[in-house]
Structure 1
Amino acid sequence: MAASRATKSGFAAEAQRKIMSKYNEEHAQEVLVWIRAVTGDDIPTSGDMDTLYETLKDGTLLCKLVNELKPGSVKRVNTSTMAFKCMENINNFLAAATTLGVPTQEQFQTVDLWERQNLNSVVICLQSLGRKGGNFGKPSIGPKEASKNVRQFTDEQLKQGDAIISLQYGSNKGATQSGINFGNTRHM
């Protein structure tokens, strides 16, 4: 059970409404369908907030997910429903997500899921992880990740580039400062 907090009011309530308004049920459903495909668990795939929260809140499914992508990512998954054990699962998932290549700016904080503060950021993190699925031989979601395109130039090719004057720099032919008035002119 999540920690209970006093209901927000004023600016805090407005900020929370704004955060919750960004939640997209279609994206959440896509993520849940992907988790089901990777883990093989028979989980509900409705994209509403309640389903997402109830499915992921204890962190065990998240740990199983990263262990399916890369075995041994989370060494020990807590099955206890005690709050600190569930939050430890979520933290272990986030640490594994980092090692699997999910950028920190696309990750959520533990309280975003555990206290249901920002479920949209949970979906964003899982979408980012979902794009990496193909790197581990599993199904992926979203656009294909770009791959490196490293180019090797010889010294001769690099020297040829020094001799070319790029027209991107433009031309200064006929450039004068006439007609340019900066600031206020003197009126007489």
Structure 2
Amino acid sequence: MSLQRQVAAKMASKRDPVQDKEAQEWIEAILGWKFPAGQSYEDTLKDGVVCCKLINKIKPGSVAKINEGGATFKLMENVQNFQKALKAYGVPDIDVFQTVDLFEKKDIAGVTNTFFALGRAVWKDPKWNGPKLGPKPADANEREFTEEQLKAGETIVGLQAGQNKGATQAGQNIGAGRKILLGK
């Protein structure tokens, strides 16, 4: 098997059809239409048109011009504009797939993960009241303690850390039974 086939097989094994389906259903719910019958998830997303329409529904005006057809570079431009809009919306750069991951179907699992990252960003957007994807991200739970509470905790931590006066390992001769034999 060639290296290229091995890489393709490894990428395909990372895909989770359940997550792909969840992402597709979320996109369909937001856009209000179904992916074309007989066309795969990745083929529907490949030209970036659906992606751009999605981010424009979530945050209107995110992608000013969507290329509905034309040369390959114009369609790839859609994907790149979608990626820029994601980052502007608050999706961390590390969670955004590379253009070739979608356009050349190199890593569709990464594309789906990007939709889940967008889903997390949507949870945090107080203006968005549409469908959500994935579990709600946890909120920070910062706490403040008084000096008295911190001092009271020192004795508890000390006991939890196993302070045990008088405990010793003396006489246990740890490792004494190990001998190293060198070959002749």
Equivalent in the alignment of 2:105 = 116
Equivalent in the alignment of 1:149 = 141
Tell me: CA distance 1:96–1:184, structure 2 relative to 1, closer, same or farther (3 Å): same
- Range that drifts further, 135-144 or 152-161: 152-161
> In angstroms, what is the RMSD of aligned CA positions?
2.7
Equivalent in the alignment of 1:53 = 42
Tell me: CA distance 1:177–1:100, structure 2 relative to 1, closer, same or farther (3 Å): farther
Equivalent in the alignment of 2:167 = 174
Q: Which runs of 4+ in 1 moved over 6 A?
A: none
Is 2:66 the partner of 1:77? yes
Tell me: CA distance 1:162–1:77, structure 2 relative to 1, closer, same or farther (3 Å): same
Equivalent in the alignment of 1:5 = none
State the TM-score, normalized to the length of structure 1.
0.78
CA shift for structure 1 position 16: 1.2
Kindly indicate whether the alpha-carbon contact (under 8 Å) linking 1:32 and 1:44 is maintained by their aligned counterparts in 2: no
Give distance in 1, aligned partners of 2:54 and 2:8. 29
Equivalent in the alignment of 1:66 = 55
Is 2:22 the partner of 1:30? yes
Match of 2:13 among 8, 18, 21: 21
The letter for the 1-side match of 2:175 is: N
Kindly indicate whether the alpha-carbon contact (under 8 Å) linking 1:29 and 1:45 is maintained by their aligned counterparts in 2: no
CA deviation map 1:52-85 (0-9, x unaligned): 1221111111111112112222233223332111
The letter for the 2-side match of 1:98 is: K
Give distance in 2, aligned partners of 1:115 and 1:160. 60
Identity of aligned residues (%): 38
SS in 2 for 1:71: coil
Which residues of structure 1 form unaligned runs of 5+? 1-8
Give distance in 2, aligned partners of 1:58 and 1:186. 65
Kindly indicate whether the alpha-carbon contact (under 8 Å) linking 2:76 and 2:99 is maintained by their aligned counterparts in 1: yes
Kindly indicate whether the alpha-carbon contact (under 8 Å) linking 1:33 and 1:45 is maintained by their aligned counterparts in 2: no
Is 2:125 the partner of 1:132? no
CA shift for structure 1 position 17: 0.8
The letter for the 1-side match of 2:114 is: C
Kindly indicate whether the alpha-carbon contact (under 8 Å) linking 2:35 and 2:41 is maintained by their aligned counterparts in 1: no
How many pairs align?
A: 176
SS in 2 for 1:166: helix
CA shift for structure 1 position 148: 1.6
Which residues of structure 2 form unaligned runs of 5+? none
Give distance in 2, aligned partners of 1:19 and 1:168. 46
